[in-house]
Amino acid sequence: MIVQIITLSGASGSGKSSYCRELLALDGRFSLIESHTTRDARSKDLPGEYVHVGPEFFRDRADEFLWTLDVHGHTYGTLRRSVRDCLGRPERIGVMLIVPGCVPTLREFVNAQGADILHFHCLSPSVEKLRERFGRRIIRGDMTQEEAERRIADCATADIDVRCSGIPYLFVPSDVTIEQAARHILDTAARLRGK
């Protein structure tokens, strides 16, 4: 099976959005698979990452979603058709920013369509680095201090949970630049794509 989708997961503040933005800039074959969310748009959202909808969208189309998830008071989900559309373009590689809990469902769906998928997990940086990153989000108004503290606490177990999941994750180190991380993902995906 050929790899047609890669996922990027990681705790909040691990750099996955920045790495993804750089990856998309480095190689035009990569494109985001859109998801839907009830949360308001944020300044750091990637173009094409989310369609912002109301709760009724999820309620009215519940059977069309591959997965839905409630996180930090907002609903997120990906439509089956969005993943199928990606798989219908073999010249492209779809990219999804995804929480690890949804990876098994996505993995099963993609494999059932005769395609393969690679999973990258961005390792969490130090607490000091997280406070620095979240501090910028607080200043922009994208996050409250309380939310930042809750997410820092979540980071403590995120990497351990992924390592124990049984999913064959490829790890992106936390002590690299954005360009180095994106190149690591790009080079690894190129090497493994088709194996």
- Of all residues in the chain, the percent with pLDDT exceeding 90 is 61
What integer pLDDT is reported at residue 125 of this predicted model? 86
Token digits for 113? 């369509």
List, in order of start, the domains of the chain with CATH numbers.
Answer: 3-33+92-192 (3.40.50.300)
Q: What's the mean pLDDT in 2-19? A: 89
Q: Work out the pLDDT band at 178, boundaries 50, 70, 90.
A: very high
Read off the pLDDT of residues 116-161 as tens digits, 9 standing for 90 and up. 999 999 998 888 888 888 888 899 888 899 988 888 888 878 888 9
Order the strands of the 74-79 sheet from edge to edge. Answer: 50-52, 35-37, 74-79, 65-71
In 3-state terms, what secondary structure has residue 11? coil
Read off the pLDDT of residues 22-63 as tens digits, 9 standing for 90 and up. 999 999 999 999 999 999 998 788 999 999 999 999 999 999
113 residue type, one letter: Q
What integer pLDDT is reported at residue 12 of this predicted model? 80
Q: Work out the pLDDT band at 194, boundaries 50, 70, 90.
A: low
Token digits for 106? 């996505």
pTM, two decimal places = 0.86
Nearest to 71 by CA among 14, 139, 150, 5: 150
Determine the Cα–Cα distance for residues 13 and 93; give it in Å rounded to an integer: 24
Token digits for 30? 């990569």
Q: Bridge-partner residues for 31, per DSSP?
A: 94
Q: What's the mean pLDDT in 176-187? A: 93
Nearest to 67 by CA among 98, 28, 46: 98
What integer pLDDT is reported at residue 154 of this predicted model? 84
Read off the pLDDT of residues 50-98 as tens digits, 9 standing for 90 and up. 999 999 999 999 999 999 999 878 999 999 999 999 999 988 899 999 9
Q: Work out the pLDDT band at 195, boundaries 50, 70, 90.
A: very low
Tokens 């010249």 sit at which residue?
91
Q: What's the mean pLDDT in 5-15? A: 89
Q: What's the mean pLDDT in 105-122? A: 93
What integer pLDDT is reported at residue 152 of this predicted model? 86
